[in-house]
């Protein structure tokens, strides 16, 4: 096993680090306060190839591997998890889904624009009554011959207010359960498609989260992704890759908080010396470092599984479960090390702590990851 990054990986990591420092860090507190992420920054991330990291260059993508995706996600998330969730959803849930399961026509029409940042994508699975229980879709897509009629509500949709392309999961034949579900491409502006107000969130406040309403929305048949009834498996496969993205986000949040705490502990003095000289602080730093290293190995293992063509359903759930726990615990400790300053926005760690929480919730809660892992190990 080679634990060293290649020259190319180091270059990609450094490019993402540089972008995060120069473009994301200034204004991150303001974006969090105002709950806003400017479109120009999405465009810039597109120009750098961050919006279609793993997509084949023949569709305009960067043609990089999943390890590169993890490195980029970690660097962006260290500074701004609101930016990185946009990147993750666009890459893992939208671009991957279209590239792996879409028709050539769908790829030419949508994927080629999603990779550049000209278009932004959203993935619409969750509903008011179907969050974790994803097979219980209430949104319906009734087959009308050459088109479908879509009705229903989707909740907590990342990029919901500003996306151009929405992948929507809906029930076509309830009698068939998960085998009666389909995935559709819905374009922004389609008649009957309404975007609800933006959610006022605890964390990732710069990201754009909305409820969406579909009232008799006419979807041409060519906008269905995959064969009839394949939508649930499409969603599950797509989410497995998404979990690598969110695990990387959690890793980045943890690493960012750790670096801030380490720096602060070497500068701040109490009882006549830098606080890092007190074992109470030094031991916290040792625990944080160890847990982050363990999380990184799990995230890289899952990314490698995907790159090697191995099944990554289990390893991505393991990586997300563990990395999100590490993100939560590390950020709480980072605030503690900062003392009163940790409670103040200027020091960044309170934002990282708020941002960490969502990594234990979206793309499957920690409890859902345990369902996926336990079912997988019990099948062995």
Q: Could you give the CA distance from residue 60 to residue 160 in angstroms, rounded to a whole number?
A: 24
Of residues 146-165, those binding ligand CAA (CB under 6 A): 157-158
Instruction: Judge whether 40 counts as a catalytic residue.
Output: no
Check binding of 178 to ligand CAA (CB under 6 A).
yes
Check binding of 23 to ligand CAA (CB under 6 A).
no
Closest separation in Å from C-beta 156 to ligand CAA? 6
Q: Could you give the CA distance from residue 300 to residue 3 in angstroms, rounded to a whole number?
A: 9
Binding mask 106-135 for ligand CAA (x = CB under 6 A): -----------------x-xx-----x-xx
Of residues 228-257, those binding ligand CAA (CB under 6 A): 232-233, 236-237, 239-240
Closest separation in Å from C-beta 158 to ligand CAA? 3
Judged by CB under 6 A, how many residues of this single chain contact ligand CAA? 23
Q: Could you give the CA distance from residue 81 to residue 306 in angstroms, rounded to a whole number?
A: 23
Query: Using CB atoms within 10 A of its CB, is residue 247 exposed (0-12), middle (13-18) or buried (19+)?
Result: buried
Q: Decide whether 126 or 223 has the Cβ nearer to ligand CAA.
A: 126
Q: Could you give the CA distance from residue 224 to residue 231 in angstroms, rounded to a whole number?
A: 9
The H or E element containing residue 315 is: helix 313-338
Check binding of 356 to ligand CAA (CB under 6 A).
no
Given the DSSP bridges, would you call strands 209-220 and 165-171 parallel, antiparallel or unpaired? unpaired
Q: Could you give the CA distance from residue 54 to residue 313 in angstroms, rounded to a whole number?
A: 18
Of residues 274-333, those binding ligand CAA (CB under 6 A): 313
Closest separation in Å from C-beta 123 to ligand CAA? 5
Helix (H, G, I), strand (E, B) or coil at 243: helix
CB atoms within 10 A of CB 6: 12
Catalytic residue positions, numbered: 363
Residues that bind ligand CAA (CB under 6 A): 89, 123, 125-126, 132, 134-135, 157-158, 178, 232-233, 236-237, 239-240, 313, 362-364, 368, 371-372
């Amino acid at each position: 096993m080679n634990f060293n990054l290649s020259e190319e990986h180091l270059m990609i990591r450094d490019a993402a680090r540089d972008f995060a420092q120069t473009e994301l860090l200034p204004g991150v507190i303001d974006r969090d306060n105002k709950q806003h992420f400017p479109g120009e920054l999405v465009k810039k991330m597109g120009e750098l190839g961050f919006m279609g990291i793993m997509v084949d260059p023949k569709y305009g993508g960067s043609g990089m591997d999943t390890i590169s995706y993890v490195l980029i996600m970690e660097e962006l998330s260290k500074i701004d998890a609101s930016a990185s969730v946009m990147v993750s959803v666009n890459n893992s849930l939208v671009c991957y889904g279209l590239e792996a399961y879409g028709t050539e026509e769908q790829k030419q029409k949508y994927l080629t624009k999603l990779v550049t940042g000209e278009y932004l994508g959203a993935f619409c699975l969750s509903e008011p009554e179907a969050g974790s229980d994803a097979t219980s879709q209430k949104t319906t897509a009734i087959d009308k011959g050459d088109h479908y009629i879509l009705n229903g509500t989707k909740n907590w949709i990342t990029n919901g207010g500003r996306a151009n392309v929405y992948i929507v999961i809906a029930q076509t034949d309830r009698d068939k359960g998960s085998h009666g579900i389909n995935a559709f491409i819905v374009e922004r502006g389609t008649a009957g498609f309404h975007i609800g107000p933006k959610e006022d969130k605890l964390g990732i406040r710069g990201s754009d989260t909305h409820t969406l309403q579909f009232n008799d929305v006419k979807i041409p048949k060519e906008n269905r992704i995959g064969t009839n009834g394949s939508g649930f498996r499409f969603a599950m496969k797509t989410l497995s890759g998404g979990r690598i993205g969110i695990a990387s986000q959690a890793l980045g949040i943890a690493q960012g908080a750790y670096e801030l705490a380490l720096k602060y502990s070497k500068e701040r003095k109490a009882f006549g010396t830098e606080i890092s000289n007190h074992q109470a602080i030094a031991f916290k730093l040792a625990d944080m470092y160890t847990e982050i290293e363990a999380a990184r190995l799990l995230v890289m293992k899952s990314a490698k599984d995907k790159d090697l063509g191995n099944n990554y359903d289990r390893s991505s759930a393991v990586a997300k479960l563990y990395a999100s726990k590490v993100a939560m615990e590390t950020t709480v400790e980072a605030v503690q090390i900062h003392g009163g300053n940790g409670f103040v926005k200027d020091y960044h760690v309170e934002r990282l702590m708020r941002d960490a929480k969502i990594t234990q919730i979206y793309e499957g809660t920690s409890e859902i990851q345990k369902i996926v892992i336990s079912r997988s190990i019990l099948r062995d």
